Structure 1
Amino acid sequence: AARGSLLITLRPFQVLPPWQDLNITGGVCDVSEIRRQNHGIVIEAAAEPKIIVPWTKPDAFGATGFAQGDIVEFLARGAMPSAENAADPWRRASAALRYDFDLKPGASRAVVLEAPFRWRRGDASAAPPPSRPRDFDASASRIAQYWRRETDRVRLELPAAARRVADSFRANQAYILINADGIAIQPGSRTYERSWIRDGAMTGTALLYTGHTDRVREYIDWYAGYLYPDGKVPCVVDRRGPDPVDEHDSTGEFIYLLAEYYRFTNDHAMLEKHFDKVVAGVDYLQRLRARRMTQEFRDGPPEKRVLYGLVPESISHEGYSAKPMHSYWDGFWVIRGFRDAAEIARALGRTDEQHRFERLRDDYRRTMYDSIRLAMKIHNIDYIPGCAELGDFDATSTAVGVFPCGELGRAPEPALHETFERYYDFFRRRRDGTLDWDAYTPYEIRLVGTFIRLNQPDRAHELLDFFLDDQRPPGWLHWAEVVWRDPLAPKFIGDMPHTWVGSAYINAVRSMFVYERESDQALVLAAGVRDAWCEESEGVRVLAFPTHYGLITYSLRSAGASLVLELNSEITSPPGGIIIRNPKSTPIRAASVNGEPVETVTGDELRLTATSASVVIEY
């Protein structure tokens, strides 16, 4: 048996502590009054009034002002304030509800309280709330069904040992939708309650990957309404409107998201609707780079020539917020923007614009890679720097050149590979404790996808395991924006869940199971599947994953010394075919498709032309 009381306190504290001080001042908050009002408990907070509606009637309720003592002082001595209303000139009112229980072995008592997100003072006079448990059960069931529908558009089924990988993939879909304010995609709900196109482009990609094309269409339409007449795409939009701060990745990101939406939907009408904005955006980028194409930069000393033809300095890369730099992050997005503008023009049959955009793409690519080579020479480095001025190392930034900007195979080599070799060495030393560190940002998760595309899945999994261990609290299946080595350190962590990080996770993990390889227009399967997953009886199941070519479903499991892949897809055949990456370290000896031997095995890849097939790989 168990006898006691459940005490629920209402106190003048925010969710955010005082060290969370970006855009919001955390810590205490003003509560001028707490009162019983009909069937609710009204909290007159400074920002907006709140209400708690107890579906289960409390056995006792009391409220107190600051001068009489905080509610916890009453509870600590087993007392409850006699007053049910407390108006406090110090604006530190507090209160508590008490629910007594006396339970026999195996018994339970349900207590239900409702905290509406949006409430108006007049609503408190509504009818009394339901009191029967089945009313709550019905409401909870409706909400659960809604979230299952939203997060089951695609399904990733993995063995028990990898359940956290799949559960985090699903949970971060929900967190993205929760953080959004209606149509507006946002990386957080408090500190970052604004809609950046930078976050929107990558989070929109994650939504496309998980079947939410409708939300991406609505977001593009909404954001397009804030573009400037000269073609400039604002870096961020909030309740005040578009932010005029120059961040030169924004235009490429908007064009990319529109093109990526089209690649998943074939929605020509959407391209037509926004084509004038694409043209204006390209022209805006062209005018920007013209500022760095004068004689001063063409014929000047190395520190001037390294800037030739680039878009001007900006603060889009957060590391340059103190002083804007000529960021190669911006440059990769400019290339992507020109590239996708050309693809949009081609899809619409606008041949003249297509060819003009292609020339701009090629010229910017050539100019930027010349700049990178000169910057490497100036700073005597063998990796791709983050910006032209500093020679700084920032592999997390450079990773966008691989995905989503698609410059693997074009960016300067061996510098690109050396960048990620250097990062991996840093990562390993940090993980193994031979490097002193204080904090990091889990944006590094995007490097999981980088190593998949570099055909280094073992490294990708080392990173993934490390980052999964830094989910705090672990059961929440998410990341804050900043991870401190000391999990109890009272320091800034950004928002949690932070869904720009969450979208990076979705995009990276998706690449382990399927990704579009732009170099040969192939669809690559199983590039990051672990051999051990296939050995388990459940194997691996990928269900209804959207791709540029349609929905793909497959299962993968071991059968003795062989590997069996059952492919059932609703896709048009990719120009480069479907590639199955070998998940084992053992070389492929032979393969058959639908019982017929195949010869299209190259190294660790098997290339298919069939879009549905039973494939047996022998070792």
Structure 2
Amino acid sequence: NKNENILKWKNILSRGMCISIPDSKIEECFEANKCFLHLFDDGDEITPGPLTYHRFWFRDAAFMIHALDKLGYGDAARQKLATYPGRQRVDGFFMSQNGEWDGNGEAIWTIWEHYRLYGDQELIRDVYPSLRRGIFWIKRKRRKTHKKTGPEQGLLPAGFSAEHLGPNDYFYWDDFWSLAGIRDGMEASRVLGEDKDHEVFKKIYMDFWQDLQRSLKMVENRIGKKTLPASPYRRMDAGAIGSISALYPLRLLKPDDEWIVNTVDYLRQHSFFEDGFFQNMIHSGVNPYLTAQIAQCYIYRRSREAWPLIDYLLKIATTTFTWPEAVHPLTGGGCMGDGHHGWAAAEMLLLIRNLLLFEEDDRIVLTPILPREWTWKGAVIQVEQAPTYFGPMDFKIEFHGGDVSLEIQERFRKAPACFEWNFPFEIQRAEGDAGPVEIRGNVLFLSSKTHKVQVKTAGVGKKP
């Protein structure tokens, strides 16, 4: 009955990451999409749509399972990941459909991300033979291009991969995902003490990375600039959206890497309608989930250029905070895929999570692009039950005019090197309960042992 259903959903939502922020629209969007993510969950698999897309892809699942993991639903994520060996072909191919070569990297990356967030060594041990076969499949697949002499030498063969990248080609998207999968399999072998495999995987990774760098250098010589087109033979176009995966979500390149910065800048200047990424190949519409990926690149760069994109995503959402796969630029209705797109729901959840905290190398970054509009006297930012690579944590920020307080509660398995806390204005002084703090303009660096901090800032926001 109705009351039982209400109680059921309250229980589901209370178990995951919870937020309270000074922006009611973003907070409501977060809560709604937490519910929707579970509606896309079919138990042993998760699908990106209720109708047209009600089937499994490793690609969409990578983002949707990752969202389950990062929002605290590790048990639901694990249920799906445990089925991955059974979805793998005998030759090691994690196949969604033939011709999509990104599946192996996505499967391995998703499993390893789960381990990073939950320390689930039992799962890693159970699926390790499958990961191992997946890495050797990538190695064998690259042999198809070894005898070539062009920029595709050593890359994965031409395939159709994600349809928003364009016609069949040697997509860098496939290569970046495969590289990340090999890297993460290498880490899994280290954790399990498989030293011989670790050395073998390391060589496979380095050989692949060397071929990819050679290809990118040839592209640079052809185009005249360090950019990441969709493939080595393509000019820069909207398909380059796939190549920013080297930063988000894979972290193969740094946020300020010239290849990434130039590619994101190109897409912003040439492939946007208003403040949404417009994919003019196949989709012919504004893609909410791809817009969110570009916003993530800005967040990693600590750039407030992410905010117009976030505001636009909220603007084109339905009244219940859903999006189709692509939005018609004139009608505002859907023009591609299901009307309720599960990948878009996952991307929005991951985007809001990273607005509040994310991991970078050995640190945890708090409020990377904190807006002034959230800093008025009496405003509160609170995050509870947030999984991180170091273990779960809660934090609460309170604004008292120019005085700001931070309280952290954590259950870390292994402490980060530090916390990085970002403000929209200069910090005048700060004092923590775990020794000295370091101030760099509007950024505060805190010991990982910190639990309470008092800050004096040079500015204060006004309540909208």
> Structure 1 residues 528, 574: CA separation in 2 closer, same or farther (over 3 Å shift)?
farther
1:452 aligns with 2:302: no
CA contact (8 A) 1:573 1:611 kept: no
Q: The residue matched to 1:563 in structure 2 has which SS?
A: strand
Q: Deviations over 1:521-573 (max 9, x none)?
A: 21111113322212152421111111111111111122232221111222245
Please, which runs of 5 or more residues in structure 1 have no aligned partner?
1-138, 236-242
The within-5 A match list for 1:244-259 is: 245-259=98-112
Q: The residue matched to 1:469 in structure 2 has which SS?
A: helix
2:428 alignment counterpart = 589
1:608 aligns with 2:422: no
Q: Distance in 2 between matches of 1:538 and 1:141?
A: 33
- Which of 480, 484, 492 does residue 335 from structure 2 map onto? 492
Q: Distance in 1 between matches of 2:321 and 2:189?
A: 41
Bigger fraction of residues in helix? 2
1:154 aligns with 2:17: yes
1:466 aligns with 2:329: no
Q: Distance in 1 between matches of 2:371 and 2:415?
A: 25
1:268 alignment counterpart = 121
1:141 alignment counterpart = 3
Aligned residues: 449
Please, which runs of 5 or more residues in structure 2 have no aligned partner?
458-464
Q: Distance in 2 between matches of 1:205 and 1:587?
A: 34
1:617 aligns with 2:458: no
Q: Percent identity?
A: 22
CA contact (8 A) 2:437 2:447 kept: no
- Which of 192, 198, 207 does residue 59 from structure 2 map onto? 198
2:347 alignment counterpart = 504
The within-5 A match list for 1:108-257 is: 139-152=1-14, 153-159=16-22, 162-235=23-96, 243=97, 245-257=98-110
Q: The residue matched to 1:616 in structure 2 has which SS?
A: strand
**Partner AA of 2:409 in structure 1:** N
1:554 alignment counterpart = 395
**Partner AA of 1:465 in structure 2:** D
Q: CA deviation at 1:353?
A: 0.9
> Structure 1 residues 386, 484: CA separation in 2 closer, same or farther (over 3 Å shift)?
same
**Quick one: higher RCO (CA 8 Å, sep 6+), 1 or 2?**
2
> Structure 1 residues 308, 603: CA separation in 2 closer, same or farther (over 3 Å shift)?
farther
Q: CA deviation at 1:418?
A: 1.2
Q: Distance in 2 between matches of 1:607 and 1:283?
A: 42
CA contact (8 A) 2:255 2:301 kept: no
CA contact (8 A) 1:568 1:611 kept: no
The within-5 A match list for 1:535-554 is: 535-554=376-395
Q: Distance in 2 between matches of 1:611 and 1:526?
A: 19
CA contact (8 A) 2:377 2:401 kept: no
The within-5 A match list for 1:6-85 is: none
Q: Distance in 2 between matches of 1:185 and 1:334?
A: 22
1:387 alignment counterpart = 231
Q: CA deviation at 1:351?
A: 1.1
> Structure 1 residues 536, 386: CA separation in 2 closer, same or farther (over 3 Å shift)?
farther
Q: Distance in 2 between matches of 1:511 and 1:459?
A: 15
**Partner AA of 2:63 in structure 1:** M
Q: Distance in 2 between matches of 1:451 and 1:359?
A: 32
> Structure 1 residues 291, 428: CA separation in 2 closer, same or farther (over 3 Å shift)?
closer
**Partner AA of 2:388 in structure 1:** T
TM-score by length of 1: 0.69
1:52 alignment counterpart = none
Q: The residue matched to 1:589 in structure 2 has which SS?
A: strand
2:169 alignment counterpart = 325
CA contact (8 A) 2:51 2:338 kept: yes
Q: CA deviation at 1:597?
A: 6.7
Q: CA deviation at 1:326?
A: 0.7
> Structure 1 residues 438, 315: CA separation in 2 closer, same or farther (over 3 Å shift)?
closer
2:407 alignment counterpart = 566
Q: The residue matched to 2:197 in structure 1 has which SS?
A: helix
> Structure 1 residues 410, 450: CA separation in 2 closer, same or farther (over 3 Å shift)?
closer
Q: Distance in 2 between matches of 1:404 and 1:529?
A: 21
Q: Distance in 1 between matches of 2:255 and 2:186?
A: 18
Q: Deviations over 1:235-255 (max 9, x none)?
A: 2xxxxxxx4x12111001111
Look at both structures and tell me which one has the larger radius of gyration over its CA atoms.
Answer: 1
Q: CA deviation at 1:575?
A: 4.0
Q: Distance in 1 between matches of 2:445 and 2:372?
A: 19
Q: CA deviation at 1:320?
A: 4.8
2:189 alignment counterpart = 345
1:414 alignment counterpart = 258
Q: Distance in 1 between matches of 2:145 and 2:110?
A: 27
Q: The residue matched to 1:547 in structure 2 has which SS?
A: coil
Q: Distance in 2 between matches of 1:379 and 1:507?
A: 33
Q: The residue matched to 2:133 in structure 1 has which SS?
A: helix
Q: Deviations over 1:122-161 (max 9, x none)?
A: xxxxxxxxxxxxxxxxx211111111221222111112xx
Q: Distance in 1 between matches of 2:285 and 2:142?
A: 36
Q: CA deviation at 1:289?
A: 0.9
> Structure 1 residues 158, 575: CA separation in 2 closer, same or farther (over 3 Å shift)?
closer
Q: CA deviation at 1:493?
A: 3.5
Q: CA deviation at 1:404?
A: 1.7
Q: Distance in 1 between matches of 2:255 and 2:309?
A: 25
Q: Distance in 2 between matches of 1:308 and 1:168?
A: 45
Q: The residue matched to 1:544 in structure 2 has which SS?
A: strand
Q: CA deviation at 1:438?
A: 6.7
Q: CA deviation at 1:382?
A: 4.3
Q: Distance in 2 between matches of 1:220 and 1:494?
A: 25
Q: Distance in 1 between matches of 2:87 and 2:299?
A: 36
Q: Distance in 1 between matches of 2:43 and 2:360?
A: 33
Q: The residue matched to 1:550 in structure 2 has which SS?
A: coil
> Structure 1 residues 367, 603: CA separation in 2 closer, same or farther (over 3 Å shift)?
farther
1:239 alignment counterpart = none
CA contact (8 A) 2:415 2:448 kept: no
**Partner AA of 2:203 in structure 1:** R
Q: Distance in 2 between matches of 1:598 and 1:507?
A: 32
Q: Distance in 2 between matches of 1:178 and 1:409?
A: 35
- Which of 213, 219, 235 does residue 375 from structure 1 map onto? 219
Q: The residue matched to 1:615 in structure 2 has which SS?
A: strand
**Partner AA of 1:401 in structure 2:** A
Q: Deviations over 1:454-490 (max 9, x none)?
A: 110x211111001110002x2x11111111123366x
Q: Distance in 2 between matches of 1:598 and 1:379?
A: 49
CA contact (8 A) 1:513 1:527 kept: yes
Q: Deviations over 1:183-209 (max 9, x none)?
A: 210000101011101111111110001
Q: Distance in 1 between matches of 2:381 and 2:332?
A: 37
